């Protein structure tokens, strides 16, 4: 069973999810289309020091989005952290891996196995590289080891038959796992 929204706890429960989980060609583009769920939304500039990124609100918001099936939106939440991580190669690779994993979720939901495999494989490779650093903060930030996340990323595309397009406003997660940061992650 894939954990759905009802079974996934929230890290930032007071923040509302978008009206829909964006899929290219099926929904208005969230930021470019006037009908988009984030059209003209003002995002404050990111001022999270890299040492605090793994416990930051933008990171936790991305985890909430990911765990509830909002993969494009999770990618958008994590991208500023990735861009800000230029001075820390492990953080840069970690956030890029999460972004690619979220992109794989979009491709799984679209029913596109080749790009889903490519994104998931690249994400897994990045997670394995970061695992070599042996920094426990990354494991605390996802609630599992990086090699485990790498394996789950690769396995996810093998179960694409489980993928369902979002119907209505509540998407269903396509991954058989959740990211569960330990409360002390930083």
Q: 49, exposed or middle or buried, with CB in 10 Å at 0-12, 13-18, 19+?
A: exposed
Judged against a pLDDT cut of 70, whether residue 93 lies above it is answered with: yes
Residue 12 has pLDDT above 50, yes or no: yes
Q: What is the reported pLDDT for 41?
A: 73
Please report the domains of the chain, with CATH numbers, ordered by start residue: 49-186 (1.10.3450)
Q: What is the mean pLDDT of the chain?
A: 84
- pLDDT of amino acid 23: 80
Give the separation between CA 81 and CA 85, rounded to whole angstroms.
Answer: 6
Is the confidence at residue 116, as pLDDT, over 60?
Answer: yes
Instruction: Give Cα separations from 119 to 52, 123, 142 (angstroms).
Output: 27, 6, 19
Which residues fall within 8 angstroms of residue 152, CB to CB, at 6 or more apart? 144, 175, 176, 177
How far apart, in whole angstroms, are the C-alpha atoms of residue 160 and residue 53? 31
Q: Whole-prediction pTM value? A: 0.85
Task: Return d(Cα 51, Cα 74) in angstroms, integer.
Answer: 20
Calpha distance 176→85 (Å, rounded): 28
Q: Is pLDDT above 90 for 138?
A: yes
Q: How does residue 156 score in pLDDT terms, banded at 50, 70 and 90?
A: confident
Q: Is the pLDDT of residue 21 over 60?
A: yes
Sign of the dihedral through C-alpha 173, 85, 10, 144: positive
pLDDT digits (tens, 9 = 90+) for 24-51: 877 766 666 666 566 567 776 666 778 8
Relative orientation angle of helices 89-110 and 113-131, to the nearest 10 degrees: 160
């Amino acid at each position: 069973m894939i954990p759905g929204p009802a079974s996934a706890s929230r890290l930032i429960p007071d923040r509302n999810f978008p009206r829909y989980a964006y899929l290219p060609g099926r929904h208005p583009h969230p930021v470019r289309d006037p009908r988009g769920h984030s059209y003209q939304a003002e995002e404050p500039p990111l001022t999270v020091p890299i040492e605090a990124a793994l416990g930051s609100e933008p990171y936790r918001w991305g985890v909430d989005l990911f765990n509830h099936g909002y993969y494009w939106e999770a990618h958008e939440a994590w991208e500023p952290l990735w861009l800000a991580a230029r001075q820390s190669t492990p953080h840069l690779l970690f956030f890029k891996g999460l972004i690619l994993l979220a992109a794989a979720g979009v491709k799984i939901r679209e029913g596109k196995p080749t790009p889903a495999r490519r994104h998931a494989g690249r994400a897994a490779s990045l997670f394995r590289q970061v695992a070599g650093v042996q920094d426990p903060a990354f494991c605390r930030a996802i609630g599992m080891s990086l090699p485990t996340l790498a394996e789950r990323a690769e396995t996810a595309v093998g179960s694409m038959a489980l993928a369902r397009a979002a119907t209505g406003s509540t998407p269903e997660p396509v991954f058989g796992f959740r990211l569960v940061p330990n409360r002390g992650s930083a």
